[in-house]
Amino acid sequence: MSYHKAKASLERAREIEQSSSSVMLAFKRDLAAALSKIDLDRRLTEEGKQEAKAEVRQKHAIEFLQKSHTMKQEYVANIRKAIREAEKVLYAPPRKPDATKLGRFEDALRSLKTELMFATSQRSALEKLRGFIDKLDDPYLAKRVRDDFADIAPKLLAAPGDGTIAKGDIKVSVRAELGEMYDNLLKPYQTEDFRGAGEVLEIAQMLAEDSRIHRSPIVNDAAKEAFGEEYARYINDTESFFAEHPEHTPEPFIDEEGELARQTAEDIAWIYKDDENPTLNVGAGGGDAE
C-alpha cells in the first residue's frame, strides 16, 4: 500500500542522511592510506611527494563530491516519493455509497439544517447536530457533513444563547464544541495507515525544506581537514561544483520506479474504515477499480 511505500522511502532518506559520517570516515581512511603509501615511496623526492599528495587529495575530494552528489539525488528522490505516496493515502476520496443510502442522507441533512434554524437554544441545536453525527456510519457521509460545516455552524450559532453551554460543572464555548466536532468527524474512520501517512508527510515535508545530507559539524570539519576548504565548501552544494567542473559530473541517480507516479487500484485505495469493509475501500465515485 501507499503508506508502506511512503514509510519505506522516508526510512531510506533517513538512512542516507545517517550514513554521512561513515561515508566520510571511509574516504578519510582511504586518503590516509594513499598518503602513507606516498610517504613510504623512496623513489619520490620531497617535492615529488608533495605533488603526488596534492593529486591524491584532489582525486579523493572529487570522488567524495561525486558520491555526495548521487547520495543527495537519492535522498531528495526518496523524500519526494514519501510525500507523493503519503498524499495518496491522505487525499484519496472515500467511495460514494449507493444511491439509496446517499438519498436518505441528503434528506436527513436538509432536515437537520432546517431544524437548526428553528432551534430554541444553542444547547438543543448542538444536541441535534451531535445526534446526527453519532448516527453516521460511512466516511463519505462524514466528509460531506464536514464539508458542509461552514453552512451548518452559522445556523447553530444563530440560535438563542450566550455562546456557552454547561458541561458538567463548567461552562464551555459553543464555538469550541463545534470546532471539536469538526476536528473529530473523520477520526472514527481513520486507520493506523492513515495516521502513519500523516506523520510521514509531516516529517518528509520538513526534510524537503533542507536537503543537506552532511549536517554534522564533525563531517564538515573532517572534509576541510582531508580535502581543504577549496573542496569542503561544496559538500552540501555539489550542484555548484559540477556546474563549474562538468567534466567530473557523475552519472545521475535513477529511481528504480523512475519519475512516473504509477497509479494502481491500491494507490487510490481509501483507507478509511467502514462497517462493511474495515480494511479499506477501493476506488472512488462509487465505481469498482478495474
Q: How many domains does the chain have?
A: 2
Same domain, 7 and 89: yes
Distance CA 4, CA 225 (A): 41
Same domain, 117 and 196: no
Same domain, 227 and 155: no
Same domain, 84 and 222: yes
Same domain, 84 and 29: yes
Q: In this structure, is residue 254 part of a structural domain?
A: no
Helix, strand, or coil here: 51?
A: helix
Q: In this structure, is residue 278 part of a structural domain?
A: no
Q: In this structure, is residue 227 part of a structural domain?
A: yes
pLDDT given at position 280: 38
Same domain, 23 and 38: yes
pLDDT at 264 over 60: no
pLDDT at 104 over 90: yes
pLDDT band at 257 (very low <50, low <70, confident <90, very high): low
pLDDT given at position 271: 38
Tell which of 163, 189, 215 closes a domain: 189
Q: In this structure, is residue 237 part of a structural domain?
A: yes
Quote the cell numbers at residue 268: 487510490
Same domain, 144 and 180: yes
DSSP label at residue 286: T
Tens digits of per-residue pLDDT, 119-154? 999 999 999 999 999 999 999 999 999 999 999 999
Tens digits of per-residue pLDDT, 177-191? 999 999 999 999 998
Tell which of 189, 210, 229 closes a domain: 189
Same domain, 179 and 63: no
Same domain, 44 and 184: no
Q: In this structure, is residue 207 part of a structural domain?
A: yes
Range of 21's domain? Answer: 2-93+192-248
Region 68-82 average pLDDT: 95
Same domain, 8 and 85: yes
Same domain, 212 and 196: yes
Q: In this structure, is residue 172 part of a structural domain?
A: yes
Same domain, 21 and 142: no
Question: Which residue has 573532517 as its cell numbers?
Answer: 222
pLDDT band at 168 (very low <50, low <70, confident <90, very high): confident
Vertex 247 angle, CA 242 and 253, to 5°: 60
pLDDT at 255 over 50: yes
Quote the cell numbers at residue 280: 479499506
Distance CA 254, CA 77 (A): 9
Q: In this structure, is residue 268 part of a structural domain?
A: no
